[in-house]
Amino acid sequence: MKLTIIGTGYVGLVTGTCFAEIGHEVICVDNDASKVKLLQSGGIPIYEPGLQELVQKNVAAGRLSFTSSTSEAVEKSDVIFIAVPTPPQPDGSVDMSFIERVARDIAGAMTSYKIVVDKSTVPVKTGDKVAETIKRYCKAKVEFDVVSNPEFLREGFAVEDLMHPDRIVIGVRSPRPVSAMQAVYTPFNAPIIVTDINSAELIKHAANSFLALKISYINAISVLCEATGANVQEVAAGMGMDERIGRRFLNAGIGFGGSCFPKDLSAFIKIAQQIGYDFHLLKEVQRINADQMDRFTKKITDTLWVLKDKKIGVLGLAFKQNTDDVRSSPAIELCQRLLKEGATLRVHDPKAMEKAKSLLPNVTFVEDMNDVAEDCDALVVATEWDDFRKLDLEKSRKAMTHPIMFDGRNLFDPAEMERLGWMYKSVGR
Ligand code: UGA
């Protein structure tokens, strides 16, 4: 099929590339000319495992192209996906101006029937607004359908999630676009659920909020574990073996971050409030998440006492593993808190150091994780990168003034760490 994706951020670029990979003809549009140029020349603006190779392969095969011209792309396509940002506003609500702008641009370019699909995470009822806008601004007065098709990919696993989805959600206002949408997704061999458009929009916010709730739940349990000498990982394993619960997203740590969960929670709380429902449960999820960071920072200050003039090594800056994304990263927040207390920091991340530089101007960026501990009073693990499990513990221990590790992601085994001569503090164990 001939498809357009408007917006080449995480969702747009990965979606467009995977659509091309399974055989569709895809045009990706972005209003940032320098980004389009970079993509046209074979580069990509983000780190995402496997993505660059797929982009290059599909560009070479002639199935994937990039442009700044919405009208050219709309003209050539049957289905147009909107994948532009929906950033948070200071009151927690969502800034819909990018979606509205794109809806007008698409409307202005339409000269025949098109299916306009919203992939961005949006408040329920956005589809109706997009349809109204297109109707108002489409001079050619052609027919169209608006569809909601939320995305469930995780950064760092985006290509894998997109190529092997758990489910495809297609929310429609009429039956007309269903067969075309099914044709787009049939090659992915995933279950397809067709719903009304409001339900599809709600599914996305409800799913992300539930996952955040799951993390806050296990973080709350971690507090009980610490107070009683239990082990949160064993509790999570025992809970997770119940198929109704499942083990995934039960990793206790320093809390969730990133560009999705914090923003989507605030937005969902706001949407509920506007509809007349006080979503207390989700406010509690936010509170537990904030407390988790407070508690971990306190663990460090309780042990090291005064942080002024202490040197601390920090492993991890990205908001999670396998990504260079530092937006709303708990690791960055932790660094900023330690700096505020007067500590000096030596930091390392396998991929996110470049993007962290503007957020942490006064720290030492260390290229090799095994050099981070040099002369440090403590080492902190802030991101769950698998690489850190291979840290040279003996070299790090010897390089420190005193071997203390605060592991905010539970990557190491407490008994083993003690055997190796470390004072080791993790979360909920
Ligand atoms: C999340 C959802 O998982 C995706 O399904 C969704 O499509 C995406 O948001 C989105 O709305 O676009 P993402 O933000 O990329 O994906 O990352 P996650 O893997 O969900 O991790 C989010 C945060 O939770 C990270 O800070 C991570 O460290 C933390 N986390 C995750 C935990 O603290 N414990 C866990 O058990 C799992």
Q: Copy the structure tokens of residue 36.
A: 């389009």
Quick one: which atom of ligand 1 is closest to the CA of 325?
Answer: 15
Quick one: which atom of ligand 1 is closest to the CA of 204?
Answer: 11
pLDDT at 89: 92
**Rounded Cα gap, residues 397 and 378, in angstroms:** 10
Of 18, 168, 249, the one to substitute when testing ligand 1's pocket (max ligand atoms within 8 A of C-beta) is 249
Would you call 335 a catalytic residue per the annotation? no
Cα torsion 122, 123, 125, 126 to 10°: value is -30
Q: Are strands 168-172 and 192-196 parallel, antiparallel or unpaired?
A: parallel
pLDDT at 92: 87
Question: What single letter denotes the amino acid at residue 298?
Answer: K
Q: Is 268 in the pocket of ligand 1 (CB under 6 A)?
A: no
Instruction: Count CA within 13 A, CB hemisphere, residue 188.
Output: 24
Quick one: which atom of ligand 1 is closest to the CA of 330?
Answer: 26
Which residue among 28, 138, 225, 260 is the active-site one? 260
Burial class (CB in 10 A: 0-12, 13-18, 19+), 71: middle
Q: Is 409 in the pocket of ligand 1 (CB under 6 A)?
A: no
Closest residue by Cα to atom 17, ligand 1, is: 154
Q: Are strands 168-172 and 144-148 parallel, antiparallel or unpaired?
A: antiparallel
- Do 150 and 121 form a contact (C-beta atoms < 8 A)? yes
Place of tokens 């075309």: 180
pLDDT in tens, 112-143: 999 999 999 999 999 999 999 999 999 999 99
Q: Copy the structure tokens of residue 205.
A: 């916010």
d(CA 300, ligand 1 centre) in Å: 25
d(CA 134, ligand 1 centre) in Å: 33
In sequence order, which residues have a C-beta less than 8 Å from that of residue 206 and are 6 or more positions away?
Answer: 268
- Do 49 and 85 form a contact (C-beta atoms < 8 A)? no
- Do 63 and 20 form a contact (C-beta atoms < 8 A)? yes
Q: Is 217 in the pocket of ligand 1 (CB under 6 A)?
A: no
d(CA 214, ligand 1 centre) in Å: 11
Neighbours of 95 (CB within 10 A): 12
Q: Copy the structure tokens of residue 203.
A: 């599914």
Beta bridge partners of 210: none
Of 204, 291, 292, 320, the one to substitute when testing ligand 1's pocket (max ligand atoms within 8 A of C-beta) is 320
Instruction: Count CA within 13 A, CB hemisphere, residue 130.
Output: 32
**Rounded Cα gap, residues 239 and 241, in angstroms:** 6
Q: Is 98 in the pocket of ligand 1 (CB under 6 A)?
A: no
d(CA 249, ligand 1 centre) in Å: 8
Q: Copy the structure tokens of residue 230.
A: 């239990």
Give, for all 429 residues of the chain, the pLDDT tens digit: 999 999 999 999 999 999 999 999 999 999 999 999 999 998 999 989 999 999 999 999 999 999 999 999 999 999 999 999 999 999 989 999 999 999 999 999 999 999 999 999 999 999 999 999 999 999 999 999 999 999 999 999 999 999 999 999 999 999 999 999 999 999 999 999 999 999 999 999 999 999 999 999 999 999 999 999 999 999 999 999 999 999 999 999 999 999 999 999 999 999 999 999 999 999 999 999 999 999 999 999 999 999 999 999 999 999 999 999 999 999 999 999 999 999 999 999 999 999 999 999 999 999 999 999 999 999 999 999 999 999 999 999 999 999 999 999 999 999 999 999 999 999 999
Quick one: which atom of ligand 1 is closest to the CA of 253?
Answer: 33
Q: Copy the structure tokens of residue 27.
A: 């045009």
Q: Is 320 in the pocket of ligand 1 (CB under 6 A)?
A: yes
Q: Please, which contacts does 414-418 make with residues 24 or more away whose CB atoms are closer than 8 Å?
A: 417/393
Of 10, 211, 286, 295, the one to substitute when testing ligand 1's pocket (max ligand atoms within 8 A of C-beta) is 211
Closest residue by Cα to atom 28, ligand 1, is: 320
